[in-house]
């Protein structure tokens, strides 16, 4: 059985948010539409069984398999290296407009890290 805790519930849509953990470390949070049986939401042991049935045990198994796997460096080599983007560009330029001097300095380009 995987550890879990219900972190939110929405009666309007009959949904709960469940965070699953392994050895005290949170590994996934899922929304679960609580089943309705004979006009009533599952509760008690039936709800616990539903939550456990949806537990992402495959993530724990995957993490263990990845920890000992080799060869990922070959996969990473396929990822293109992007040219670095300058953090800022200093401009020494003076503009005069109607007798007022304005100096533009330290223009930072809009960059995104992917």
Dist CA 71 CA 12 (whole Å): 48
Residue 77, domain member (yes or no) = no
Range of the structural domain that residue 36 is part of: 3-70
Residue 80, domain member (yes or no) = no
State the pLDDT at residue 1: 86
Q: Is the pTM of this model over 0.85?
A: no
Residue 79, domain member (yes or no) = no
State the pLDDT at residue 110: 57
Residue 33, domain member (yes or no) = yes
Residue 43, domain member (yes or no) = yes
Residue 42, domain member (yes or no) = yes
Q: pLDDT in tens for each of the 114 residues of the chain?
A: 899 999 999 999 999 999 999 989 999 999 999 999 999 999 999 999 999 999 999 999 998 999 999 999 999 999 998 877 666 555 555 566 566 666 655 555 555 555
Number of domains in the chain: 1
State the pLDDT at residue 100: 64
State the pLDDT at residue 82: 83
Give 28-85 as a 3 state SS string.
EEEEEECCEECCEECCHHHHHHHHHHCCCHHHHHHHHHHHHCCCHHHHHCCCCCCCCC
Residue 97, domain member (yes or no) = no
Q: Which two tokens stand for residue 8?
A: 């939110």
Residue 75, domain member (yes or no) = no
State the pLDDT at residue 62: 92
């Amino acid at each position: 059985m995987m550890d879990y805790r219900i972190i939110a519930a929405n009666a309007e849509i009959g949904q709960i948010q469940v965070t699953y953990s392994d050895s005290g470390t949170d590994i996934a949070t899922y929304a679960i539409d609580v089943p309705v049986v004979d006009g009533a939401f599952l509760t008690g042991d039936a709800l616990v069984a539903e939550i456990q049935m949806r537990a992402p045990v495959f993530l724990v198994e995957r993490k263990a398999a990845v920890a000992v796997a080799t060869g990922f460096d070959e996969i990473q080599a396929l990822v293109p290296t992007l040219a670095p983007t300058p953090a800022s560009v200093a401009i020494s330029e003076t503009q005069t407009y109607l007798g007022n001097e304005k100096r533009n300095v330290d223009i930072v380009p809009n960059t995104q890290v992917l």
